[in-house]
């Protein structure tokens, strides 16, 4: 698909923006289905809602990814997470500022790793405001939790997270975390890419989780950030030649990838959770449930990737499914939900991989 006057390929994000404009009855500069123009030229009618465009796009993505009952389950999971956050804050009120600080750190890390930032700044009117609105909604559950325990001062600082949209993004083309990458087997290239994209932030979060293991909740919060970031690295599919070089069939490749992911994420979780249990002995069941949830969530991310595998593709549509799995995996005792999701996707992953292993025409 080409752009205006056949100037080059059109990005999928631009196509999504075009479909969004059409669904909202906006005037297009061209009605040809293969012609795309900057969105700034497509907004003469409803320019006032420009700051909400990213929220609208996220909602459309969720509706396309999940049936209605899936959205209801997601809403219930968010409400449950807010309720548990309220209970924890009531019991450990001294740790309330650490929750807000963790939320700010998460948003800053997401902003630094946005792949669509350049596209948004170029094609979306009031792009910074739209990004700020997205970040504000992201921390809304945390804000509700803070207000529920009357932490007015801390809650008043949380909206500052929206200012992250105006912060500069620092990118480096050099190899980062080379000494850590040596510990990761070559066949687990996703984890090497994870270190390349997140080092030294991921290492800092892990060190902080270990250093603050004497606190009740903060270590789990920091470890959860690391695990969620690691699962996002499973969205990029390798070329088929790498698939064939890793294993001889789909079953062995799937087992190799899942086993390697479980060992790595378990190695990340075990030291900090063990130390946290020594300080909070009554929380041992929370730490065990959390650790198992992170392991199951990571394994599910691997299986989901190969269930939808296509050489060289980036599976952005897996994001909502991983979000659902993460919400249940974080809550102790509810890791059974991502486990069921994993078992459901396993036969699909094997069938899809076998098709690519024996597809001689590709």
201 has pLDDT over 90? no
Judged by average pLDDT, the poorest of 102-106, 281-285, 301-305 is 102-106
**pLDDT, mean of residues 172-194:** 76
Is residue 28 within 8 Å of residue 18, measured between CB atoms? yes
Alpha-helical segments (H) within the chain: 12-23, 53-65, 68-91, 96-112, 117-123, 127-138, 140-148, 152-157, 178-181, 189-198, 201-211, 218-232, 240-246, 250-279, 284-307, 319-330, 336-357
Looking at residue 174, the DSSP 8-state letter turns out to be S
Q: What is the pLDDT of residues 149-177, one digit of tens each?
A: 888 888 888 888 888 888 877 665 556 66
203 has pLDDT over 70? yes
Q: How many residues does the chain have?
A: 362
Buried-exposed string 343-361: b where 16+ CB fall within 10 A, e elsewhere: eebbeebbebbeebbeeee
Is residue 27 within 8 Å of residue 44, measured between CB atoms? yes
pLDDT the model gives residue 115: 72
d(CA 305, CA 331): 23
In this prediction, what percent of the chain has a pLDDT beyond 70?
Answer: 82
Is residue 299 within 8 Å of residue 242, measured between CB atoms? no
The answer, as to whether pTM is greater than 0.75, is: no
Residue that the structure tokens 């396309």 belong to: 64
**pLDDT, mean of residues 72-80:** 82
Q: What is the pLDDT of residues 237-280, one digit of tens each?
A: 888 888 888 888 888 999 999 999 999 999 999 999 999 999 88
| CA quadruple 68, 229, 201, 118: dihedral sign | negative
Q: Using CB atoms within 10 A of its CB, is residue 173 exposed (0-12), middle (13-18) or buried (19+)? A: exposed
How many CA atoms lie less than 13 Å away from 28 in the CB half-sphere?
19
pLDDT the model gives residue 23: 46
Is residue 136 within 8 Å of residue 162, measured between CB atoms? yes
Q: What is the pLDDT of residues 32-65, one digit of tens each?
A: 444 444 444 444 434 457 788 888 888 887 888 7
Instruction: Please name which of 162, 104, 168, 105 lies closest in space to residue 131, comparing C-alpha atoms.
Output: 162
């Amino acid at each position: 698909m080409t752009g205006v006057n056949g100037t080059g390929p059109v990005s999928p994000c631009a196509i999504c923006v075009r479909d969004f404009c059409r669904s909202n009855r906006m005037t297009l500069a061209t009605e040809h289905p293969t012609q795309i123009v900057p969105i700034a030229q497509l907004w003469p009618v409803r320019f006032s809602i420009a700051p909400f465009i990213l929220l609208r796009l996220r909602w459309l993505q969720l509706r396309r990814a999940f049936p209605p009952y899936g959205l209801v389950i997601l809403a219930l999971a968010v409400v449950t997470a807010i309720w548990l956050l309220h209970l924890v804050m009531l019991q450990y009120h001294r740790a309330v500022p650490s929750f807000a600080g963790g939320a700010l750190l998460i948003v800053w890390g997401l902003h630094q790793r946005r792949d669509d930032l350049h596209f948004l700044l170029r094609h979306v009117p009031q792009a910074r405001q739209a990004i700020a609105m997205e970040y504000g909604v992201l921390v809304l559950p945390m804000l509700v939790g803070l207000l529920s325990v009357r932490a007015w001062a801390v809650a008043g600082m949380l909206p500052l997270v929206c200012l992250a949209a105006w912060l500069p993004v620092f990118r480096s083309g050099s190899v980062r975390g080379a000494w850590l990458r040596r510990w990761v087997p070559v066949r687990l290239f996703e984890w090497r890419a994870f270190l390349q994209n997140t080092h030294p932030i991921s290492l800092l979060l892990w060190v902080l989780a270990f250093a603050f293991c004497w606190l009740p909740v903060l270590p789990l919060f920091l470890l959860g950030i690391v695990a969620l970031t690691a699962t996002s690295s499973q969205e990029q599919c390798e070329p088929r030649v790498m698939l064939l070089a890793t294993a001889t069939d789909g079953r062995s490749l799937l087992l190799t990838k899942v086993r390697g992911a479980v060992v790595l994420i378990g190695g990340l979780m075990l030291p900090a959770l063990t130390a946290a249990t020594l300080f909070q002995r009554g929380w041992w069941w929370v730490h065990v449930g959390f650790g198992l949830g992170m392991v199951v969530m990571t394994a599910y991310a691997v299986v989901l990737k190969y269930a939808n595998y296509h050489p060289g593709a980036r599976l952005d549509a897996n994001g909502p499914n991983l979000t659902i799995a993460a919400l249940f995996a974080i809550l102790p005792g509810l890791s059974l939900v991502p486990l069921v999701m994993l078992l459901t996707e396993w036969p699909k992953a094997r069938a899809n991989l076998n098709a690519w292993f024996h597809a001689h025409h590709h």
